[in-house]
A = this chain, B = another copy of it.
Amino acid sequence: MMRLSTRGRYAARVMLELALCYGRGPTLLKDIAKRQEISEGYLEHLLPPLKVAGLINSSRGAHGGYTLAREPSKINLKEVVQALEGSLSPVGCVDSPSVCQRTGFCVTRDIWKELGEKISQTLESVTLEDMVKRQKGMGK
């Protein structure tokens, strides 16, 4: 069904939340979970990949928590989704040509590749700053 998994979706919400708190010190996982209505236990597995990708910083112990590694205007959605979903290609053979013998002469593969590039471009064009602005334009 070509659906984003909750990993990518939740990651986007986590990063939006951190962008809304930007400049006010570390935010607790517990608070992100509460405000975004995501289970704490599950969130614990989503934040490490964001850190590995260099999108957030964390500090442990009392007064710890998470902060954005860069300004909201310098982080885009493609990076965020990619950190959790791995690849944005709609099919595996785009990333790993050798998984299929047809690669060399497969028209559909070329098209899926182009689709993947469109998806990347689209997500790359949205920054966390954009999202914060939109959020302020909405009710909540």
Contacts and interface: CB of A to CB of B under 8 A. Distances in A.
A119 B4 CA distance: 13
B102 A37 contact: yes
Copies of this subunit: 2
A46 to B, nearest CB: 14
* Most-contacted residue by chain B among A90, A104, A107 (CB, 10 A): A107
A54 to B, nearest CB: 21
Given A2-B5, A112-B4, A131 B107 contact: yes
A115 B5 CA distance: 15
B3 A91 contact: yes
Task: State the main secondary structure of chain A at its contact with B.
Answer: helix
A24 to B, nearest CB: 19
Contacts of A101: 37
A108 B37 CA distance: 14
* Most-contacted residue by chain B among A2, A16, A104 (CB, 10 A): A2
A1 B131 contact: no
A85 B91 CA distance: 14
A10 to B, nearest CB: 9
B4 A91 contact: yes
B2 A8 contact: yes
